[in-house]
Structure 1
Amino acid sequence: MQHLGLKRVVLVGQGLGAQLSWQLALRQPEQVAGLVLLNAGAREFLPESAPLLFTLARLPGAGWLAEGLLPRRLVEQALQQAYGQPVRLRAATVERYFELSLREGNRSALVDFLDQRRTPLDLAPLSALRVPTLIVWGARDRLLPIEDGQTLAQAIPGSRLIPLTQLGHLPQEEDGPASLAAVADFLHTLKP
């Protein structure tokens, strides 16, 4: 923000990005005009249906399996489970995720991230948020169920939860126009 000369912004984050966004809003509320949080885990990570990749990465001492063995098929399976309607998953999306997984450090970062998700987040500090907040949730999310979104909405005063009934964990990818419509309506309510 400093580099770009931005004084106040609306932060949009999905998953871990959502957690980073609300942490900045708590620390520097004067810089945050609003928050849009997409499928941000609020409880212990206990997925209804976890991809094999996630299961391997969470086994004590077996994270090296996810780091060293990550075939395209496992990436595709993980994405299919992340979509509320797997038929929407495009081959180009699978390829992009697979190629990104090959970048140095990305696989070990995934293992570290999943290891951190063994305990619930402390949501008590969120009661201090005084930033307009929209929570968008793919209601068919099998990794982070809609109950997480409801928990998050209860923790943030004045927040609004919009469930996207046909979508999964990556609503912005699965149906960009539906996700954007929810966000655009919210943005029009914000004061400049």
Structure 2
Amino acid sequence: MATTVSFAVDSAVGPRTVSVAYERSGSGEPLLLLHGIGHHRQAWAPVLRILAAERDVIAVDLPGFGTSPALPDGLTYDLRTVMTPLLGAFCEALGVRRPHAAGNSLGGLLALELGREKLVRSVTALSPAGFWTEGERRYAFGVLRAMRGAALAMPMPLVERLSRSAAGRSVLTGTIYARPGRRSADAVVAETVALRNATGFHPTLAVGRGAAFTGDVPGLPVTIAWGDRDRLLPRRQGIRAKHTIPDARLVRLPNCGHVPMNDDPAAVARIILDTSS
């Protein structure tokens, strides 16, 4: 069950109160989980039980996604100047100092930014954004807009009917999963609703046009993992990520798509636990 915490974040027009929904379970060293654009904290559900056996796991709904409200007036979705310090303030509000961080897609880029600012003690980035060419970025954003448009256009009875079959789940989520048939019907419906209700979707895409990770993350354990069946951000971007962060460990995830937690939960959990050990 989600809990919500509210805290102050500085803006150009003074402090603003931000509310973030999260789910916390397990015990051990803290581990912050960050989802991708249009998704929600339940993207991590396939690996939560494994991770919670060894970590104090905090799965977050980013502002404007899942059940977290959008950012208040005065705050933009700029990843480096707003979202990174905001996540630092979120951890402080929970009394958590320098957790480990794991993120997927947008969440992977945020985890790397947190690592660069030394706000976390290790980073696992699964198909992180920010290592694309301009053409690759345009393609990914076009696919994301199409997914959002389809989620908005489909009547809920159709979404529910499609979710009941493996073929229908492939129609709804085949862009991000290599094995969409493994996703439950309820999960597919919930993430379709999350995508259509994501108030942070377009503001995040707007700032994402200039999003690129160009620095290093020195002094921290960093693992970058990429599914070899990622249809949104091709795995060649992982090579660029390795060149940008030379000390990072680059891992291939066989038979995994853009959101690999569903495709191979055991492999993803082991990579996160190894990095955060």
TM range (shorter): 0.7 to 0.9
Name the aligned partner's letter for residue 269 of structure 2.
L
Matched, 1:88 2:182: yes
What is the TM-score with the length of structure 2 in the denominator?
A: 0.54
Which sections of structure 2, spanning at least 5 residues, go unmatched? 1-90, 163-167
- In the TM superposition, what is the alpha-carbon distance from 1:117 to its structure 2 partner? 4.2
| 1:84-143 superposed Cα distances (whole Å, 9 cap, x missing partner) | 23332331221111232354xx1x432333444445x43322x25332101121111000
% identical aligned pairs: 25
Taking only aligned residues, the RMSD between alpha carbons, in angstroms, comes to 2.9
TM-score, normalized by length of structure 1?
0.74
Partner of 2:124: 36
Specify the code of the residue in structure 1 equivalent to 2:121: A
1:118-129 superposed matches below 5 A: 118=209, 121-125=211-215, 127=216, 129=218
Alpha-carbon distance between aligned partners in 1 of 2:150 and 2:173, rounded to the nearest angstrom: 15
Matched, 1:54 2:138: no
Residues of 1 paired with 2:244 and 2:94: CA distance? Answer: 32
Structure 1 residue 70, shift from structure 2 partner: 4.6
Q: Point out where structure 1 has 5 or more consecutive residues left out of the alignment.
A: 58-64
DSSP-derived class of the 1:23 partner? helix
Q: Which amino acid aligns with 1:54?
A: R
**How many residue pairs are counted as aligned between the two chains?**
172
CA contact (8 A) 1:34 1:132 kept: yes
Give the Cα–Cα distance (whole angstroms) in 2 for the partners of residues 94 and 67 of structure 1: 11
Aligned mates of 1:114, 1:17 — CA distance in 2: 13
Asked if 1:180 is matched to 2:269, the reply is yes
Residue deviations 1:7-54 (CA, integer Å, cap 9, x gap): 221111111112222222222x1x421001111122142548x75x63
Distance 2:243 2:172 in 1: 29
Equivalent position amino acid for 1:24 in 2? L
Q: Which has the higher contact order (CA 8 A, sep 6+)?
A: 1
Which has the larger share of strand? 2
Q: Which residue of 1 aligns with 2:200?
A: 109
Alignment-derived partner of residue 14 in structure 1: 104
Is residue 24 of structure 1 aligned with residue 114 of structure 2? yes
Partner residue in 1 for 2:254? 165
Q: Could you tell me whether the CA contact under 8 Å between 1:80 and 1:89 is conserved in 2?
A: no
